[in-house]
Structure 1
């Protein structure tokens, strides 16, 4: 079983996996990386709940409308 990634919020700019992130960015990293970032005051644990994914057109119920009578 693969361990769950740790969600962090950056408190300083940081480059992770070749991508630059600014202050306040949320990233998911493995436990060892999370501990390093926390120990160096680069991030804090993300205590917010994950955002729900955006709804797609296929998730929406069909629209029922009445056609005008001729």
Structure 2
């Protein structure tokens, strides 16, 4: 299975959209848990890393590319 690569401040798409209708999330904290913030309504969600990796669909915008 291919491991998905993501970094702090990346904009990601999850498998299911947020109830507000948006499906763009910004990673604002990384560690054992990952905190993501909805780009539609600014609501933030904290979830274990394993659950996040399972629900992650793809990285839309990488913060690493913007730094270079």
TM-score by length of 2: 0.31
More strand, by proportion: 2
Higher RCO, 1 or 2 (CA under 8 Å, sep at least 6)? 2
